[in-house]
Chains A and B, each alone.
Chain A
Amino acid sequence: MTDTEPYAIELKGISKAFGPVQANKDISLHVRKGAIHGIVGENGAGKSTLMSILYGFYKADAGEILINGQPTPIPDSQAAIRAGIGMVHQHFKLVENFTVVENVILGAEDGALLQPSITKARRILKELSDEYELHVDPDSVIEEISVGHQQRVEILKQLYRHADILILDEPTGVLTPAEADHLFRILNGLKEQGKTIILITHKLREIMEVTDTVSVMRRGEMTATVQTADTSPEELAELMVGRKVLLRVDKAPANPGEVVLDIKDLRANDDQKVERLKGISLQIRAGEILGIAGVAGNGQSELLEVLGGMIAATGGSIAVNGEQIDLTGTSSDGQSRRARGIAHVPEDRQREGLIMPFMAWENMGFGYHHDPKYQKNRLFMDNAALKQDTAEKMERFDVRPPNPFLEAKNFSGGNQQKIVVAREIERNPDLLLIGQPTRGVDIGAIEFIHKQIIALRDEGKAILLVSVELDEIMSLSDRIAVMFDGHIMGERLPSETDEGELGLLMAGVTKGAA
């Protein structure tokens, strides 16, 4: 490519605010034609927002967009599509109960009648899938195919619309390492065809692997743009957070006591009655952290929910400190679990861990509102005591701002998480269930939360850690169990394994087969 050739994409001074949140501040960006450009940044840094603006999903408050050198106003997605921009969103935008073809032609139909478009789409899908090894059955229904395939459908959708510029927002978050590699092959294929690609990801490894250039975003601002060849993961991490980060947690070796949690052949269904746990057996001892690795949607969530009393089990048994706990019926709920000394930091703080419109102090009692120390008498709650308690805990976990009367929705993601963690850890439970402890949390807060978890372990408590972030699993766990399709594929010691092996297990490939 020559320097005279105009940039495929050029953003000038883009700004966007959501009410009080300044998601993007005066952002500029250049991407050459036929390049793969990476964008990294913490959660909430403003990556998705920026891309959504480029795709016309949100309207920028200020700024200008140039496509192939031409100033191109993009008021809506229609305009973006016309400008040859296609986007694969962080959360897929597919109609679950439609077939693949229906999803592909939606919005790109040729006429008022469907039939012609469908036949045409079938033909083109065939061609595309041969060209880029994007194989999916055109007539299968979305909700019945794997996430990986759903993502292919998203990509096909864009290609079907002749997109020359392809934006992928955290495409690998839901993929196994193998699937991710396949994706990158596809991306390189597209690059060969002269298409321009923007890749948003948290995983520096991927950036180093596939991108030509990379930009770093922080707190809504574009802090740097560099040639991938000239940089290193450490440098990128520092650019992201603004200070040196130790990507590893330092912790003393565990000295496990006797068994606290003993799970035998546990089975459970999700609300669609699909079996998600197909016979799980695990043990966790006092003073150790068992990390569950796995691609999202392989049963980890259900495992936490059964243990936390949120859903009933269909078979198997769970013993805590040697006592069986019942897994079905009315006496099996969050309350009964808490009574057994089980604390639970749920995977989704906004939908489960917190009541967004409740104030911090109300949330601090959430789940423990029957606790005698929060009761004035048999009839009324002792709100004063709860507020007092909350103030102290916010102090100790330096939640910012430390204001018990602020509504949960007005705390940042990381601080919301701190409130939940504070609530659960301060119960000083025998067993802590903790899911995605640092999802949507900035690295500062991550360090803090990790320290708390280790501290609890060192007090001789048992901890079950579920995370999709392999690094987190590797750095925190004393033992690692890998889940795939409702089964435990195997247990490893962090010291004796690596991401490659775990990746294979996560993909359901056992050593023998590999």
Chain B
Amino acid sequence: MDFATLIQLLDSSIRLATPLLLACLAGLYSERAGIFDIGLEGKILISAFFSASIAFTTGNVWLGLLAGIASSMVFALLHGVASITFRGNQLISGVAINFLAAGMTVVVSDSWFSLGGRTPQLETSGRFQNITLPFAEQLQGVPILGPIYHDLISGHSILVYAAFLIVPLTWWLLYRTRFGLRLRAVGENPAAVDTAGISVVRMRFTAVLICGVLCGIAGAYLSTSLSAGFVREMSAGRGFIALAALIFAKWRPWYALMACLLFGLLDATGSLFQNIRLLGISVPVQFMQALPYILTVVILAGFVGKAIPPRAGGEPYVKER
């Protein structure tokens, strides 16, 4: 594989890793606070739809982004009400949210655009344009580094850079601030937080809403940056892969970045090298496409060391038994 192809592959990996990364960090906030969320998928999807359709109708991608985030937060709120306020089963609530998104997006888009569950193509103004970093053009000539800077690092949409910036931000928030301390505590032992005079409910809702915001950005990225419009089921399991990445990363920001890049690379490989041959036998394209899912299982199987989730994760906090 020559250098250009490698750059191309990595470039594509970064694009495909971005939604995973955003979703993964979203999950990180929620699960660190003790709320499991398999509804990431649904939140991504709903946001992808709303950001695309609002971006189309207003012709302003930023409004689209806001709409996407808002819709995703509404779903996050729903999950919060179900699993925090009413102490429902967090898994079931997540499953419901995924279905709700899958159905709603198509039903609503049909009644808005009647394009068979799709939004119209977005014009330039309705999309996040790829931004060229300073000196990218000038430096392009420089061997090795030139192409790396020009083709790999430069020329992504603002959301990509945002996603990568959120990683250190999250780390700082988690380990250096009061909010982070309380967030981690509420995921480990809510009773301790409660007796310390902090409202468990408020902490958890905050976390769930942050999760909603990040999923919202992920969805907007899918429909207004990676592609030019919404199509049904466009999240294509990314929410679940993000969850696996989160477990892989043992709920830690920097590792989450690594995990997501890995999955992004896999996805890119899957679509770029469809008919690769290993030791003479050609690997079926279906295998390449299933690879991320297979790897997810392998990772969950704990072949990467045991991952201990936040202790209070998954259980509603009940004072009175």
Contact = CB atoms under 8 A, between A and B. Distances in A.
The answer to whether A and B touch directly, with their CB atoms under 8 angstroms apart, is yes
Interface of A: 18, 55, 57-58, 76-78, 80-81, 87, 89, 93-98, 102-103, 105-109, 111-115, 117, 157
A112 B311 CA distance: 25
Contact of B195 (A93, A105, A109): A93
B227 interface: no
Interface in B164-190: 176-182, 184-185, 188-189
Given A81-B197, A107-B198, A108-B196, A93 B181 contact: no
Contacts of B311: 96-97
Contacts of A117: 178
A77 B196 contact: yes
Contacts of B198: 78, 106-107
Q: Output the residue of A55, A103, A106, A115 with the most chain B CB within 10 A.
A: A106
Contacts of B320: 18, 58
Interface in B52-77: none
B209 to A, nearest CB: 18
B30 to A, nearest CB: 18
A72 to B, nearest CB: 15
Given A78-B197, A81-B197, A107-B193, A58 B188 contact: no
A97 B191 CA distance: 14
Contacts of B181: 102, 105-106, 109, 114
A108 B193 CA distance: 11
Nearest to B311: A96
B177 A95 contact: no
A58 B195 CA distance: 11
Nearest to A16: B320
Interface of B: 176-182, 184-185, 188-189, 191-199, 311, 319-321
Nearest to A56: B197
Given A94-B189, A95-B189, A96-B311, A115 B176 contact: yes
A279 to B, nearest CB: 28
Contacts of A18: 320-321
Main secondary structure of the interface of B (DSSP, over half): helix
A-B pairs, top 5 by smallest CB distance, nearest first, are: A107-B196, A78-B197, A93-B192, A109-B178, A93-B195
Given A58-B319, A107-B197, 6 more contacts: A77-B196, A93-B195, A94-B192, A103-B192, A113-B176, A113-B177
B188 A112 contact: no
12 contacts: A55-B195, A57-B319, A76-B199, A77-B196, A89-B195, A93-B191, A96-B188, A96-B189, A106-B181, A106-B192, A112-B178, A112-B179
A41 to B, nearest CB: 20
B197 A112 contact: no
Contacts of A76: 197, 199
Contacts of B199: 76
Contacts of B185: 95, 98, 106
Nearest to B189: A95
B40 to A, nearest CB: 25
Contact of B182 (A81, A106, A111): A106
A450 B97 CA distance: 54
A114 B181 CA distance: 8
Contacts of A107: 182, 193, 196-198
Contacts of B189: 93-96
B178 A113 contact: yes
B178 A114 contact: yes
A101 to B, nearest CB: 10
A105 B192 CA distance: 12
Contacts of A93: 189, 191-192, 194-196
Contacts of B197: 76-78, 80-81, 107
A407 to B, nearest CB: 15
A106 B198 CA distance: 9
Contacts of A80: 197
B175 to A, nearest CB: 8
B196 A106 contact: yes
Nearest to B198: A107
Nearest to B172: A113
B193 A106 contact: yes
A157 B311 CA distance: 22
Contacts of B184: 95, 98
Contacts of A115: 176
Contacts of B194: 57, 77, 93
Contact of B178 (A81, A94, A111): A111
Contact of B177 (A57, A105, A112): A112
A264 B182 CA distance: 48
Contacts of B319: 57-58
A78 B197 CA distance: 4
Nearest to A89: B195
Nearest to A104: B196
Contact of A77 (B177, B182, B195): B195
Contacts of A102: 181
A112 B173 CA distance: 10
A16 to B, nearest CB: 10
Given A58-B320, A106-B181, A87 B195 contact: yes
A373 B192 CA distance: 49
Nearest to B195: A93
Contacts of A94: 189, 192
A98 B198 CA distance: 17
Contacts of A81: 197
B210 to A, nearest CB: 16
Q: Output the residue of A77, A80, A112 with the most chain B CB within 10 A.
A: A77
A334 B174 CA distance: 44
Given A18-B320, A107-B196, A97 B188 contact: yes
Contacts of B176: 113-115
A190 B189 CA distance: 29
A439 B235 CA distance: 54
